[in-house]
Structure formats: structure tokens, C-alpha cells
Amino acid sequence: MEKHEINGPVYPSSSGSNGRTVRSPAHQPNFNSRAVQEALEHLASVDLSELFNEAKTEYCRATRDLRRCGRYVKYVLNSCGHASLCAECCQRCDLCPICRIPLASGNNRLQLRLFDECIDAGLISRRYGDIFQNKEDRDDPMNADVQRLYSFFDVSLENNLVSLVCHYVTDICMDETAVSSDAITALLLDEKVVKDWVKRKFKNITTELQQIYYLKVGEMEKSLCLLHKYSAYLASLSSILEVLESSFKGRPLAQLHDLHHLQESILKTKQV
């Protein structure tokens, strides 16, 4: 996949005299830091056929006292690439519980998973990492994994990597050989999950634009950088929808109508 050089601007927040607050982006990592650059390079170069696996929440499969450990897994094994062991169990196990391949020797056994790498770099809020480790999300793994995939899409949109989302549609969602009997994986492979993410982002952006709209002129001028940012986001979402529309050709008219309506709404919002 094509890589992009990232230069992340910082967007200030502004509060109007009417009490309305225009929020800054939740995460403002240091884009000059090595951790951020490496995380973005990892995301930009990730094999898209593995991106949905990176999004899936995994729990330790090692056996403890005749029971599965079950701790949240932040790492993949360098020997085989499986996210099957927590850091503690990795130190006492010799084989991957999934494929039985021997673990690497020494301190080179583990590599941080992409999602947790983005958290450590500040590209994804740490509170999301904490949420996905909660018991409630174990009871609803489908929602948790979809939200994790959305987090990757969010980082891509915010860092000039929107081509990743477009390629996810064309190379993964439109690939007729990319099928799975697992319900969660099947959902992550469906272009509907991308369409729903676009809808969510558009709704969030329009909410922020409404806050700016109610500011006074002088206060609105302070939010010009935010307006430019949201304009760029809307253009990116429009590009993704164009790719989605091409993938929906030959599908029921209701699906195409839904996409056309969303595309028109985005274009009108961008013009305003």
C-alpha cells in the first residue's frame, strides 16, 4: 500500500460566549515522536487481509490450573504471528497454543499488536483499550471488534491514510474469496461495516459543524483550522463512498439509494 508522510497539526478548541464549546480532536499525539511515526508506518503498510484480524480482540489461550488464562492479549508471537498468549504466559510457555510452533528464544518472543501500538503512540485513546478489556465486551465481542476496526479507520482518516479504507473496500470487502464461517469475521469483511462507519463519522462531523455555526463571527474565525480539517474529512468520506458505490453495483436499489443519499448529504455539507 502507498505510504504517506504524516504531519499532524494541532487544532485548538474554542468556547463561545453563548456557552457552546467547539471540541478539539480528542487525541493530539506528538507527530514528531518515533512511536507515532512507527505506528502510522505500520498501519500504512499492514497487509489488509490481516487488518480485520488486528481488529479482533484476543484473549490468552494458555492453560492455568486446568483452565484457560483468558487475559487480554496485547502482543503477537514473532514465531507465528498469532495473538494467543499474554505477556506473562509467554514467559512460561514453549509453544503457541494455536499452531504449536515453538516460541522464539530470548526476549524476542513478542511484538505489540497494531491496535495497542496505536494506543501507546496516542493515536487511539487509551480508554478504548481499557473498554475492550472489560467483561461486558467479552459478552459482546462483535460490537467490540467492529469498534476496534472503526478505530483504525478513524486514525486513517485523521492522518491522510484514507486510501487504506478505500483499499479495504476494494481488496477485502469486494474479494469474493474472502469469506468466513465465523460471524464476527464475516461482519468485518462486509462493506456494510465501512458504510456504517462513514455514516457515523458524517454524523459526528455535522454535530461539530453545528457547534461552530452558532459561534459569533470573531469566535468562528478562531475555528477556521477546524473548518479546514472537517472539509478535508468530508472530501475523504466522499471518496470512500465513491468506492463503495462501485462495489454496490448490481445490488438492490435500496442499498444504492442509501449510498447516494449519504453522498449528497456529505457534498451539501461540504459546500456549506
What are the b/e assignments for 118-153, b being 16+ CB within 10 Å? bbbbbbbeeebbeebeeeebeeeeeebbbbbbbbbb
In angstroms, the CA 169 to CA 240 distance is 8
Whether the predicted pLDDT of 11 surpasses 50: no
Q: Which has more confidence, 13 or 92?
A: 92
| CB-neighbour burial class of residue 81 (10 A; exposed 0-12, middle 13-18, buried 19+) | middle
Per-residue model confidence as pLDDT tens digits over 39-67? 999 999 999 988 988 999 999 999 876 67
Helix (H, G, I), strand (E, B) or coil at 95: strand
Residue 96: closest CA among 108, 112, 111, 79: 79
Contact 32, 228 (CB under 8 A): no
Task: Please tell me the predicted confidence (pLDDT) of residue 185.
Answer: 87
What pLDDT is attached to residue 111? 93
Q: Which of 153-162, 187-196, 245-254 has the lowest mean pLDDT?
A: 245-254
Q: What is the rounded CA–CA span in Å between residue 49 and residue 148?
A: 16
The CA-based angle 156-158-160, given to 5 degrees, is: 65
Question: What is the pLDDT at residue 257?
Answer: 60
pLDDT at 136 over 70: no
pLDDT bucket at 254, cuts 50 / 70 / 90: low
C-alpha–C-alpha distance, residues 60 and 50, integer Å: 19
Per-residue model confidence as pLDDT tens digits over 186-236? 889 988 899 999 999 999 998 988 888 888 777 777 778 888 898 899 999
The neighbouring-strand residues paired with 77 are 110
Closest CA to 141 of 101, 78, 102, 185: 185
What is residue 28's predicted lDDT score, i.e. its pLDDT? Answer: 73
Residue extents of the structural domains in the chain: 1-32+141-272
C-alpha triplet 67, 101, 119: angle, nearest 5° = 70
The predicted structure's pLDDT at residue 143: 85
Spatial separation of the C-alpha atoms in residues 133 and 149, rounded to whole Å? 15
| pLDDT at position 133 over 80 | no
